[in-house]
Chains A and B, each alone.
Chain A
Amino acid sequence: MLPDCLYILNIPAIMSDILLKVNELRAGIDGKEILKGINLEIHPGEVHAIMGPNGSGKSTLSGVLAGNPAYTVTGGSAEFHGLDLLALSPEDRSHEGLFLSFQYPVEIPGVSMVNFMRAAVNAKRKYFNEEPLSASEFLKLMREKRAVVELDNKLASRSVNEGFSGGEKKRNEIFQMAVLEPRLSILDETDSGLDIDALRVVAGGVNKLKTDRNATIVITHYQRLLDYIKPDFVHVLYKGRIVRTGGPELALELEEKGYDWIKREIDGE
């Protein structure tokens, strides 16, 4: 038994050890419920993979966590390092360290990558009452972070994602992640549309950014990406619920046997 005072000291330590705690989260779109009670707990330093068949709610989960106004939360809670995540605006979620790598990064004609990133970086600095970066500081930061994913300098002068290839778009997502240094990154189908070389570069970027203080959620259909980004936990999402949780071996099992056996087990229950 520890003395009482140590218990008290321990409490905040334990609390801050949970980066994200999702409790019975329910959400939908246009009145149709898609997430039907999600429970998830993520600690710093962990990599969680969320797998599941088409239509199981994977992208809805990432959208709801990032605050996409297209979705409506109908129940449950999500706590992000002690904050009520669902009460925050999308921009404040970003400032607090949540990053969503989009499955389909949006093209924004007329907004240059440089202006876009400057606005993002300085908005975050403003949130923490810091002065905006000077032009030279900002360019130095861009140079450093581009190296993480070998992003071509030429892309930086173009409009956001406009005319980028599939691989360039995903690299650009990881570049933005490198710049914003999130505490929790959600990679939504980052492997889709990537050839094997691009996949290696993107996964390499993610691994370079991994520390024992941040965490990653990898949403994917396929085991392939998990060869490059090694998960600590694998969750299977089906019909809006996490129906299985296991170690990396679960992903291998899914790769071998498909989702049907899980569907049968769950639907048979």
Chain B
Amino acid sequence: MSSIDQYTALYSENACAFDAHSAGKLNTMRKHALESLKGASLPTKRTEGYERTSLEDMYAPDFGLNPSRINMPVDLAATFRCAVPHMSTLLGVTVNDVFHPVGSLEQRLPEGVTFMSLSKAAAEKPEVIEKYYGSIAPTENAAVALNTLLTQDGVLIHVDRGTHPGKPLQLVNILSSTVPLMAPRRVLVVVEEDAELQLLVCDHTNDNSQSYLTSQVTEIVAGRNSRVDICDIEESSARTSRHNMLYVRQSEGSSLNHTTVTLTCGVTRNDYHIDLTGDHCDTRLSGMAIGSAGMHIDNHTDIRHLSAHCKSDQLFKYVLDDNASGAFDGRILVTGDAPFTEAYQSNKNILASQEARMHSKPVLEIYNDEVKCSHGATTGQLDSKALFYMQARGIPLEEARTLLMQAFMSDVIDRVSVDGLRDRLRHLTERRFNNYRQGDAANEQCGDCPASTSND
């Protein structure tokens, strides 16, 4: 039985429970999804674009779902303390797929900013949900359809026209369960015309011995001249699989600066689909991945220039050690309607061991003469001359290696625009490399966070 059959069967048996606990719009979309899943299958390594990560294998284990919404350990959300100190954020937490506002979030939210569960939003902001939910992520994509079928809740972030929240929002996703669990989640982000959003997303695992699969679809609507800054940090356990699908539609003059940071994981596949639909859009897509024993990190990007005078710039960097494997598959499409496009892509990787593997595949499709495009991919080792220079100054070899690896990541960190977060990311990467050096990678977790260490 294929994964899709397995989960559609599970849905059919529990259809009433799914529908009973979800908003109307989600249920309507669910019907469409079920239709499009008929005869569909998830990509395998034989599918183009998935050569290094089989979604079929990722979804195949018999993960449980929680259609009746029982036994959600909500106390986790209440006790969660953020490991990003010196940053004041407006914090919300999801445990699996249930959203919990933290503290007095609702009172603290500035005028014009909505940050709540989709269920609640369906009642309070029905026009936003009706208009945008499922409007960007295509259900023709089997993984999106499966997510749409199984999703019961998620998060809405909405910023009204012209609103500048003045503070970053933070969404912490915690996986917690006593049985192998799949958490299908939806995040809808709507930033209206002339509005701004800074968002920090952190993925954690509560119990390192349990296996999890997250299937997350995030849809971002960036209105005219809006500005969206997102940093997504994953620190999940070795038994966590994450399939993260991001769909963005940028309108004229909007700018998006998205950075993804994979510090620890099991198997991670990130799909970034960004459509530049208006003139003068600006997109910066960055990624940093640190892989060690057993980890697999696959970033897939697809930036479509559909309008004139837009600029996109991608930078993805990997440091892979032990038997870690990484993949970067980056596509830039420039259509005939997109003259005066500037599109750049760079993928740089360091293999710190003989066993580590990196697969890099840039794809440029250009149907326009008025473009400036470039791409580059390099994979190599640490600079032996720099290592000896540092050793000759008394810096032990392992420490020198760590310094070089951190230095290698510094330009990705510098691209993050949220103040305070750059320092924190430097600290997190330093700790990641140091802990790794001390042979602690398997237990590496976001150190100060009780949510991630309570079950150790």
**A interface list, Cβ under 8 A from B:** 66-70, 89-91, 93-95, 99-100, 102, 105-111, 115-116, 119-120, 123-124, 127, 159, 176, 180
Contact = CB atoms under 8 A, between A and B. Distances in A.
Given A108-B389, A110-B406, A119-B403, A127 B411 contact: no
B171 to A, nearest CB: 30
B394 A120 contact: yes
A95 B399 CA distance: 15
Contacts of B408: 110
7 contacts: A89-B396, A106-B389, A108-B386, A110-B409, A110-B410, A127-B394, A180-B394
B393 A105 contact: no
Contact of B388 (A90, A107, A109, A159): A90
Nearest to B411: A110
Given A70-B384, A116-B393, A119-B403, 8 more contacts: A67-B391, A67-B392, A70-B388, A94-B393, A110-B407, A110-B411, A116-B390, A116-B395
Contacts of A91: 391-392, 394-397
In the A-B complex, the 6 residue pairs with the smallest Cβ-Cβ separation, listed nearest first, are A110-B407, A94-B394, A90-B391, A106-B389, A110-B410, A120-B393
A120 B394 CA distance: 5
Contacts of A107: 386
Given A106-B386, A123-B396, A94 B391 contact: yes
B276 to A, nearest CB: 31
Contacts of B385: 106
A108 B411 contact: no
Contacts of B407: 108-111, 159
Nearest to A179: B393
Nearest to B409: A110
Contacts of A120: 390, 393-395
Nearest to B399: A119
Contacts of B404: 108, 110-111
Contacts of A100: 392
A68 B383 CA distance: 13
A90 B390 CA distance: 9
A175 B408 CA distance: 25
A172 to B, nearest CB: 11
Contact of B399 (A66, A123, A127): A123
Contacts, number: 79
B393 A180 contact: yes
A141 B4 CA distance: 65
Contacts of A109: 407
Interface residues of B, number: 23
Nearest to A119: B395
A123 B388 contact: no
B382 to A, nearest CB: 11
A94 B392 contact: yes
Contacts of B393: 94, 116, 120, 176, 180
Contacts of A176: 393
A123 B395 contact: yes
A72 to B, nearest CB: 14
Interface in B67-117: none
Nearest to B391: A90
A12 to B, nearest CB: 27
A119 B398 CA distance: 12
Contacts of A105: 389
A176 B407 CA distance: 20
A108 B390 contact: yes
A89 B390 contact: no
Interface in B372-428: 383-386, 388-397, 399, 403-404, 406-411
A66 B404 CA distance: 21
B318 to A, nearest CB: 15
A90 B410 CA distance: 27
Nearest to A105: B389
A67 B396 CA distance: 13
Contacts of A127: 394
Contacts of A70: 384, 388
Contacts of A93: 392
Contacts of A111: 403-404, 406-407
A119 B393 CA distance: 9
Contacts of B399: 119, 123
B437 to A, nearest CB: 13
Contacts of B397: 89, 91
Most buried by A among B393, B395, B396, B406: B393
Interface string B281-302: 0000000000000000000000
Contacts of A67: 391-392
A239 B139 CA distance: 74
Contacts of B389: 102, 105-106, 108
B403 A116 contact: yes
B410 A123 contact: no
B201 to A, nearest CB: 25
A124 B394 contact: yes
B425 to A, nearest CB: 14
Nearest to A93: B392
Contacts of A116: 390, 393, 395, 403
Contacts of B392: 66-68, 90-91, 93-94, 99-100, 102
Contact of A95 (B388, B394, B410, B411): B394
A111 B408 CA distance: 9
Contacts of B388: 68-70, 90, 106
A39 B156 CA distance: 76
The listed residue with most B CB atoms (<10 A of its CB), out of A100, A105, A120, A124, is: A120
Nearest to A123: B394
A267 B343 CA distance: 62
Nearest to A110: B407
B87 to A, nearest CB: 22
Contacts of B396: 89, 91, 123
B352 to A, nearest CB: 16
A95 B386 CA distance: 18
